[in-house]
Amino acid sequence: MRHPATLKLPVLLLLITLFTSGCSVLPESTPNQLYRLPAPEIAPVSTSAQPVALSVQPPKAGRLLGSDNIVVWPEGNQVSVYGDARWYDSAPAMLQSTWINAIQQSAIVSHVSADRQGADYQLTSELRDFHIVYNDGIPQAVMRVDVVLQDSASGERLATTQLQASQTADNEHVGAVVNALGIAAESVSQALIEWLYLMLER
């Protein structure tokens, strides 16, 4: 007499033992290291802030630049990301927070926030570059963003500009390239403040 159920029982017991004991044949995944952009150090630009409210929106970005991936262009047309490291938030969300902090420090307007309601002006943008490129084997951070200042009530574009910066990393380690991206982002923040100040003074 055949007993197929009896033949399968040892296999079933083995599977139950593996699951209940916490054993796994799958390799353990390495947790991602999370990074943030350093807070910008912006000196006050004006002793008297413009009595206006400014709304800063997160920059638009493509799928990769708009994610929490730290993007790198190793060579040629190849595009990659650092597998064991990520931003703690999406790049657009981090840059929005960075710019709001920078504008607050600069004291060029009386109020700045992410809220559109009650804002006199809106700052919108599109992130073109925010990644690491390799030049002759040396990693370099590059950042480029198109910026628009518009009237909140009418939606009219009052001014546009393109801001960009680059910074060579000290080495190829992820901490060094993140630091280089942070320096490039701070340079763009400083340029953004100077441009906004001139546009709002007109």
Please, what are the domains in the chain?
49-201 (3.40.50.10610)
Q: Which amino acid is at 75?
A: E
pLDDT tens string 120-149: 999 999 999 999 999 999 999 999 999 999
pLDDT at 119 over 90: yes
Given a contact cutoff of 8 angstroms between Cβ atoms, the answer to whether 106 and 80 are in contact is no
- Top pLDDT among 25 and 46 is at 46
- pTM of the shown model: 0.83
User: CA 94, CA 91: separation in Å to the nearest integer?
Assistant: 5
* Average of per-residue pLDDT across 72-83: 92
d(CA 126, CA 97) in angstroms, rounded, equals: 15
> In angstroms, rounded to a whole number, what is the distance separating the alpha carbons of residues 179 and 100?
20
Q: What is the pLDDT of residue 76?
A: 82
Instruction: State what percent of residues in the chain have pLDDT above 70.
Output: 84
